Amino acid sequence: MDGLENIKQQIEGRGPVEALTLLAGQFPGQIIFSTSFGWEDQVITHMIFANNLPIKIFTLETGRLFPETYYVWNRTMEIYGKPIHAYYPNNERLERMVNAKGPNSFYESVENRKECCGIRKVEPLKRALAGNKCWVTGIRAEQSADRQDLGNLEWDEQNNLIKFHPIFSWTLDEVKEYIRVNNIPYNTLHDRGFPSIGCAPCTRAVQPGEDFRAGRWWWEDQSKKECGLHEAHK
């Protein structure tokens, strides 16, 4: 993508807030951050809201989130007094799937699970990203071996925009310390062994020694554990 290397040079060596400020200036009204209210996303939300950065924050309301996730969502809006935009599944597609296969068809096959993710997450994401030029995410390198080969800035061919991961090189300890120092609300499921929190029926706690992603779609083969939001990171 033309200009990607130039942007990389501009943000090289800058801290997350400084880099976000630069990108917000470079893409006015066309930069967006997706949150699922996990540790990393709460850190970035704080950076955006506390510094009044002109970056729209949105979430995918799948309809199957944990009660703890809804609590953090509401608490975050109360504390910062700023909106978090919700994108819902297309009701006709969702109703058609549930009417034909029931509410828990995703347990029956990988195909069914990907259909559910496609309706509840992937299609709403495409609507959320439409018209934007920069997508900010909470991805960190140490979350999986596949992600360690990436950089903090990349071109997303699937969605035709730049992706920026402002805390890409942070460790989990750094994330948790930032939350503690800044008194940021976070999902208490993290304290109960949930490193990655998605839809309630598809997420469980991780046992000591298990992989970071072991709690997502645990009934499936390890190599198939993607929902389609970050296809490049399979």
Residues with catalytic roles: 227
Count of CB atoms within 10 A of residue 188's CB? Answer: 12
In the chain, how many H helices and how many E strands? 8, 6
CB-based burial of residue 172 (10 Å sphere; 0-12 exposed, 13-18 middle, 19+ buried)? middle
Q: Which amino acid is at 136?
A: V
Distance of CA 207 to the CA centre of its chain: 22
23: left (phi over 0), alpha (psi -120 to 50) or beta: alpha
Q: Are 62 and 94 in contact (CB under 8 A)?
A: no
The rounded distance, in Å, linking the Cα atoms of 111 and 105 is: 10
The rounded distance, in Å, linking the Cα atoms of 233 and 97 is: 27
